Amino acid sequence: MAPSPTPVENIPITQDTIQIDKDLEALANDASRAYLDFNQRISRIRTLVNDILLRISGSSKQVESAMGASTSSLGVPSLSALPTPSNPGLIGNYSAPTSTIAPTVTDSTYEIIPGKTYTASYTALITTTISDHGSASVATSAVPTYSLQAQPPVYQFNPDASDNLAVYWGQTPNTTADGLLQLCENADVDIVILAFLNQFYPENGQGYPGINFGPACDPANINQQQKAPGLLDCTRFATQIQACQALGKPVLLSLGGYLANTSFVSDNQAEHFAETLWNLFGAGREELGIRPFGPDVILDGFDIDNENHNTSFYNTFAASLRKQFDKDPKKKRYYISAAPQCPIPDESIPLEAMRQVDFVWVQFYNNPSCNLNSTGFEKSVQNWAVQLANGTTSTNTTAAGKGPKMYIGAPAFAEAGSGYVNGSEFAGYLAKVKNLDLPNLGGVMLWDGTMGALNVDEFGASYLDYAKAAVQ
């Protein structure tokens, strides 16, 4: 707390005090002028801000909207409503030999162009000094400083984009228990698919499914042991899923894999299994305490990676998943993907089912006739694009009625199988795909993300870097 001003009647009236009184009066006038000058400068800065924002946006109408009331569509406060520094209060209050007033307006944030924010700040300093012995002097300054800085945009997944990178995670030798979040934090990655739920009905066509996410989970909890022995306790791992989702990266659960029991014997069983998945991994109700990721984690969808050469009832299954998604009262957006082999027709996933999904990542590897580096690659890509685009029963959420987005699936490391090419070669093959001008191209899928991040060449670029750059 500042000391109280000295009462005027206790000061002897001398020539010195008369001079001090004059000096103080001049001081007050100077301070007032400085304050007025400060406000004038702030007014000019406001004009400058407005002009700069106009230049940034290139649209006066958009800026006018952004400068309106705080209830505007962009949620931006009016620039004219920025706080004005209060009166420095110098007049009549000389309670200390030195008084410093620093009116400041800082960190006012505006979102003029959607997805980009700008921070403006300006300050001013008024300093006055009074001598302890006889005379008063004043030094005032009111020189605002101003800055406008662009802030990095917040990532937002775009399912309709043509340059997304989807990666599998969970089943390669270098998978680590804490590696999912590291993968999601990689700016190259847009979608992550957890591999795998590999047993639909391990108990003779009944009960609950079985899962295997490598080192990510702990053994089954007591409820799972008693009621669903194929499930695991993945609650420790669940926080990474939530962190990925908080970063804007969808996390899907893949159903199948090379060695998996993923068949249906009837439409009823396919419908029931869709409901089971919804209750275990979606927003459904499950009261037995057996949800692998706990009650709070809701995945963003499911990936169909059936490789058992039995296509029966998968059309019903895909349609049933959509019906389960519609039950969510919060209307969260969910996705379905499929991962067929590149030969046409795929022996395990029927075309009718694929036309109901959002993304189809065709595996252009481990199939000599249509591998990425084969002579039949480009023709296969074109054939897949036509097949998926000609769907008339599409219920996908990315481009309803136009079929799903097609992704070019490739191995991210040599040991994944035939069809592997190095990063720079991959860019060349993707350039050929882009030259086809396919309207339903969605991006690239890699098996898998962990190995893609570790596969770094002599220039320090990872396979993920090459894949993302190639598709952009």
Asked whether 409 and 364 are in contact (CB, 8 A), the reply is: yes
Q: Which spans in 285-417 are helix H?
A: 314-325, 351-354, 377-389
Distance CA 175, CA 213 (A): 9
Considering only CA atoms, which of 242, 244, 241, 221 is closest in space to residue 291?
221
Rounded to whole angstroms, the Cα distance separating 246 from 238 reads 12
Phi/psi at 429 (5° precision): -65, -35
DSSP helix/strand/coil, 223: helix
Pairing of strands 145-151, 117-123: antiparallel
Please enumerate in sequence order all residues whose Cβ is within 8 A of that of 266, keeping only pairs 6 or more positions apart, or say none. 313
Catalytic residue check, 307:
yes
φ, ψ for residue 352 (rounded to 5)? -60, -35
Burial status of residue 206 (CB atoms within 10 A of its CB: 0-12, 13-18, 19 or more): exposed
Most distant CA pair in the chain, distance: 110
Q: Determine which one of 64, 286, 307, 378 is catalytic.
A: 307
Q: Indicate which residues carry an active-site annotation.
A: 307
